[in-house]
Chains A and B, each alone.
Chain A
């Protein structure tokens, strides 16, 4: 996704409901909001609720106040709103209110069928690259990503400290990425 500068024009178009800018806004912030929320919450439903509530509040604030004071700080503002919504969500542990009926709505990039196809293709390459890894590297990745094991536990099992684990993961990822790149080049 190409990066657009967060400036006055961007924020103004967002406030006016420009479809292209709104699509960019949700597509850009959805992944990093999910990453942030996943690092703190376990419930996928709560994460999605908080993400949508964050978008709604940001858009409402922009429309109500005709923009934000510092457009270049839009990202920090989204992060701040997300943090507040998350704290409210944790406190109340209830569902968040729905979007108003007159709201133009937010385009969900997950509904894009092209993205699904791209994901599938990428995962085929991932599977191929994983098959070429050494059993040790594969086991390491399995522990870390599939089993979601505690890092301290992995360190105890492998008799290494956390810094060394990070090096091991870095190497495993490096090997993985090189195989992934080679696989991708062979394909094209």
Chain B
């Protein structure tokens, strides 16, 4: 192959594209190793390709989030590539918004939520007296008052003999809304059954404590409690 042949058949471009046959490629190699013009053209085209590749690579690196790169298993199609061209900026904006929301959550947790929890844990860890509220089947008119500042209160009651354990206690509001269900085990001999309740779960109002046996839906006992809370 001489220089005219190489020029006519666009050998440089076709060689770099891998479009020459084996014999043509070998002939062109023999030629460009001895032809300064073809060698220069080949180098220029090669540098052109390397630069374009490097620029695309840099642009892709800037668009992708940090972390190990994951290459697609198969080359994307034409439409997929066009979608990518628009999707990447949108993805970046979305990632930025997500980062801002995450930052807000972290600030909220560190400034408000976690200190609140710490304060609550410290309060609960401190020794304190517990208000005991007796539940009776027949109550008088006076409501039972608990201090709002106390986090817990204890309800205690003596169950009739017909109740067999394990039993359960359903706590309902005055409107019949089921609030909580507590499993009851047999108390120590001569001692009442008791339930520890959170003050914040029981605003002022009337509550029913319905006791059921383990194998029946029949209500074996009902305790009614008029509760008021006092802020002190």
List the interface of chain A (C-beta within 8 A of B).
3, 28-29, 31-32, 35-36, 39, 72-73, 75-76, 78-79, 122-123, 126-127, 130, 135, 139, 141-147, 149, 151, 153, 157-158, 162, 166, 169-170, 173, 176-177
Contacts and interface: CB of A to CB of B under 8 A. Distances in A.
Interface stretch (B77-85, B95-103, B152-160, B215-223): B77-85
A39 B77 contact: no
B18 A170 contact: no
Nearest to B39: A32
B14 interface: yes
Interface in B27-86: 29-30, 32-36, 39, 42-43, 46-49, 51-60, 75, 77-78, 81-82, 85
B10 to A, nearest CB: 7
Contacts of A146: 52-53, 56-57, 60
Contact of A139 (B30, B32, B54, B78): B78
Nearest to A124: B55
Contacts of A28: 39
A144 B55 CA distance: 13
Given A123-B54, A146-B56, A151 B32 contact: no
Contacts of A72: 34
A32 B32 contact: yes
B174 interface: no
Contacts of B121: none
Nearest to B46: A35
B52 A126 contact: yes
B12 to A, nearest CB: 10
Q: How large is the interface on B (under 10, 10 to 19, 20 to 34, 35 or more residues)?
A: 35 or more
Nearest to A32: B39
A75 B16 CA distance: 19
B51 A151 contact: no
B19 interface: yes
Contacts of B60: 146
Closest 7 pairs between A and B when the two form their complex, measured CB to CB: A75-B33, A146-B56, A79-B33, A75-B34, A126-B51, A145-B52, A145-B53
Contacts, number: 93
B13 interface: yes
A173 B48 contact: yes
A145 B25 CA distance: 20
Interface string B166-191: 00000000000000000000000000
Chain B interface main SS type: helix
B57 A139 contact: no
A104 B160 CA distance: 107
Nearest to A170: B13
Given A29-B33, A75-B34, 11 more contacts: A32-B39, A75-B39, A76-B33, A127-B59, A130-B55, A139-B82, A143-B75, A145-B49, A146-B57, A169-B17, A173-B48
Most buried by B among A39, A158, A169: A39
A145 B47 CA distance: 11
B202 interface: no
A176 B48 CA distance: 9
A130 B10 contact: no
B50 to A, nearest CB: 8
Most buried by B among A76, A142, A176: A142
Contact of B75 (A73, A130, A153, A176): A153
A162 B19 contact: yes
B10 A166 contact: yes
